[in-house]
Every structure is written in C-alpha cells, then in structure tokens.
A = this chain, B = another copy of it.
C-alpha cells in the first residue's frame, strides 16, 4: 500500500498529495497525520493538492475529515493548490469544503498559518 509522506516544516506539517488515493491510503494518511500532529505539537497542517487534476467526492470528504481531526487536536489545516478546474468541479459536486481553510499556494497557506499561530 502506498503511504503518503508527511514533512515537518518548522511548526507545521506539509503533506503533498500526488496520487489518486484509494480508501486505505486515505485512512492511513488520516491516522498518520493525527499521530504526527500530536507527537510534533504542530500548530498547522498544509495539504498541497496542486498535483491533482481531479478531486472527487471521496477526496473532498477526506479533506474535510482531516481538517476536522486536526482541529480537534488543536491544529489548523489549510488546503492549498486547488486548481481552477478542480475548484469548479468541487462546487458543481456540491462540495465546497465548508469549514476547510484554503489558500492559493503553499506560501500563502504558510502565511495564513503563521498569522493564526496563536489560536
């Protein structure tokens, strides 16, 4: 099974999703992230999806779950790099990722997290 790596960047964690995740990979990622947020006391989690040309409802829901889990552990999650076409598809699917913070790219996402640091 593929396992998506989680990188540490200062006070934050960075996950770059490059493959179309299957259920098992996604569940593993949720678990790995939850463990890592606790272990590293991360303030924020950046999820970069700029490599994905398609985000289906499964991945959409997974992003919402990860964001909720992170919040319960005291970390802010920001999804970055959603492509214009992907954004349009997501909204058409009725998945506007309510409650999930988003930013244009990693740099902006990082700035958003640093600004929210104290929370």
Which listed residue (B74, B92, B98) contacts A80, Cβ 8 A? B74
A31 and B91 CA atoms in complex are apart in Å by 12
Q: Are A88 and B69 in contact (CB under 8 A)?
A: yes
Size range of the chain A interface in the assembly: 35 or more
A90 and B82 CA atoms in complex are apart in Å by 27
A34 and B87 CA atoms in complex are apart in Å by 8
Interface of chain A: mostly helix, strand, loop or mixed:
helix
Q: Are A34 and B74 in contact (CB under 8 A)?
A: no
In the complex where A74-B80, A97-B72 touch, is A104 in contact with B38 (Cβ < 8 A)? yes
Interface positions of A (Cβ within 8 A of B): 30-31, 34-35, 37-38, 41, 65, 68-69, 71-75, 80, 82-88, 90-92, 96-99, 102-105, 108-109, 111-112, 115, 118-119
What are 28 of the A-B contact pairs (CB < 8 Å)?
A30-B88, A31-B88, A34-B84, A34-B85, A34-B87, A35-B84, A38-B83, A41-B104, A65-B91, A69-B91, A71-B96, A71-B102, A72-B82, A72-B90, A72-B97, A73-B82, A73-B84, A73-B102, A73-B104, A74-B80, A74-B104, A74-B108, A74-B109, A75-B104, A98-B99, A111-B118, A115-B118, A115-B119
